[in-house]
Amino acid sequence: MLVTGNEILQEAHKNGYAVGAFNINNMEIIQAIIAAAEETKSPVILQASQGGIKYAGIEYIAALGKVAAENASVPVALHLDHGTDFEEVIKCIRHGFSSVMVDASKFPLEENIAKTKLIVDIAHSVGVSVEAELGKIGGTEDHIVVTEREATFTDPDEAVRFVEETGVDSLAIAVGTAHGVYKGEPKLDFDRIKTIKEKLNIPLVLHGSSGVPEESIKNAVYLGINKVNIDTDIRAAFAQGVKDFLKENPDNIDPRKILGPARLRMQEIIMDKMHIFGSAGRA
């Protein structure tokens, strides 16, 4: 069933677990995520980035996401990931997304607050949940590039002001993770997660979670993370599935035969994540 981001994340916040938010770009990825959620009895968030929407088309991605959610036996939210463009955010709300992220993190605090509050007022008036970002998460996610030098951790006191003034439902915090493939092992600032959670008491979001060691993710969830974003690990599983099949069957031209094993490969890693995040068995 299609539910709001808030319905899923408030439950996770109250009960101390996290829900996976997986990036969607095509039908096979969506099917893999839903199959994993049903198999593990887990609530789940399907999230499309602006780049994903550009690739698939808003009508296609919204329709696929809604059909998937409405036919699922578990709660599913359809979420816009890193909405940096006002019109894009509004378009998603119009197309039935149940949750949006406004990412104005590259702007100074006052401007981030103003841009986020505008979306919160609009989204809340039609029952759509809102995530925002404070601090700057490093790495590359589609068109958003933040170098190591530019990345800045979230300030806990600024976070209190930000949430009070915007009325946002959940907050993405910068605590040492980065988008894309890691060069070394990421070092998370666990004390910062703990401090922010104590001050805010709302669902917190961890971006750039692919490639983060299992123990670090579990600790972050224990300290207050309730939404864990995964994109790169799904891309890697998809690509590996396709490569392995074509290596074995170089003459096969059937898209179903080529993409089927990749879909299964993605489902397996997503199921693992659902166990690690603690969302398995919560639906």
Could you list the active site residues?
A: 81
**Residue 209 near which of ligand G3H, Zn ion, none (CB within 5-8 Å, type-dependent):** ligand G3H
Q: Which two tokens stand for residue 23?
A: 């990036």
Q: Which residues contact 34 (CB under 8 A, 6 or more apart)?
A: 44, 68, 72, 76
Find the binder of ligand G3H among 50, 98, 112, 229 (CB under 6 A). Answer: 229
Place of tokens 């036996």: 73
Q: What is the rounded distance in angstroms from the CA atom of residue 202 to the CA atom of residue 33? A: 25
Count, residues near ligand G3H per rule CB under 6 A: 15
Of residues 173 and 245, the one with the C-beta less far from ligand G3H: 173
Is 186 a binding residue for ligand G3H by CB under 6 A? The answer is no
Question: Segment 104-163, which members bind ligand G3H (CB under 6 A)?
Answer: 141
| Number of other residues whose CB lies within 10 A of the CB of residue 79 | 29
Of residues 61 and 74, the one with the C-beta less far from Zn ion: 61
Find the binder of ligand G3H among 13, 207, 265, 282 (CB under 6 A). Answer: 207
Q: Which two tokens stand for residue 65?
A: 């996401």
C-alpha dihedral sign at 83, 237, 206, 43: positive
Q: What is the rounded distance in angstroms from the CA atom of residue 171 to the CA atom of residue 255? A: 39
Is 232 a binding residue for ligand G3H by CB under 6 A? The answer is yes
Find the binder of ligand G3H among 179, 263, 265, 282 (CB under 6 A). Answer: 179
Find the binder of ligand G3H among 5, 83, 208, 241 (CB under 6 A). Answer: 208
Q: Which two tokens stand for residue 105?
A: 């993190």
Of residues 1 and 181, the one with the C-beta less far from Zn ion: 181
Cβ atoms of 206 and 228 closer than 8 Å = yes
Is 51 a binding residue for ligand G3H by CB under 6 A? The answer is no
Q: What is the rounded distance in angstroms from the CA atom of residue 46 to the CA atom of residue 29? A: 10
- If we measure between CA atoms, which residue out of 203, 102, 115, 187 comes closest to residue 153? 187
Of residues 163 and 270, the one with the C-beta less far from ligand G3H: 270
Is 207 a binding residue for Zn ion by CB under 5 A? The answer is yes
Is 227 a binding residue for Zn ion by CB under 5 A? The answer is no
Side chain identity at 84, as an amino acid letter?
T
Site stretch for ligand G3H (CB under 6 A), options 1-9, 214-222, 226-234, 254-262:
226-234
Q: What is the largest CA-CA distance in the chain?
A: 59
Q: Catalog residues that contact ligand G3H under the rule CB under 6 A.
A: 23, 81-82, 141, 179-180, 207-210, 229-233
Q: Catalog residues that contact Zn ion under the rule CB under 5 A.
A: 141, 207, 229
